[in-house]
Amino acid sequence: MASLKSKYKRQEQELIHSLVKSGTRTFITRIELIETSKIQDHKIYECSYVDNGSKKQVNIIAVDVSDALNKLDAMLGFGLPQQAANYILSNQKLNNK
């Protein structure tokens, strides 16, 4: 894998500050597959993001990364506290199909 030049490597907090300062108030900083779920064919993703300028981190139960992003997208922009978003996105009963 190619590596980034050192001028493009910033600390996460510096990157967040730069994006918020430029007017971008909602964005994902990291999404990572961390485990398989008890729900058949589902996985658990850990997602760090900024919503309206506030840094948040949640676990999302989803079929794949696209499903995880769609579920997260539904939570953005409402000022939902991190704990509430995490409860909704990582609850098995709310994620059964």
Please report whether residue 64 resides in a domain: yes
- Is the pLDDT at 97 greater than 60, yes or no? no
Please report whether residue 67 resides in a domain: yes
| pLDDT score for 65 | 95
What is the domain range of residue 73? 11-95
63 near 41, Cβ under 8 Å? yes
- Tell me the CA end-to-end span of the chain in Å, nearest whole number: 37
Please report whether residue 75 resides in a domain: yes
Percent of the chain at pLDDT > 70 equals: 93
| pLDDT score for 50 | 92
CA distance to 32, 39, 44, 51, 68, per residue, from 63 (Å)? 13, 9, 9, 23, 7
Question: How many domains are contained in the chain?
Answer: 1
pLDDT category at 6 given cuts 50, 70, 90 is confident
Please report whether residue 5 resides in a domain: no
Starting at the earlier edge strand, list the strands of the sheet with 27-36.
Answer: 27-36, 43-51, 54-62
Please report whether residue 3 resides in a domain: no
C-alpha span between 82 and 26 (Å, rounded) = 14
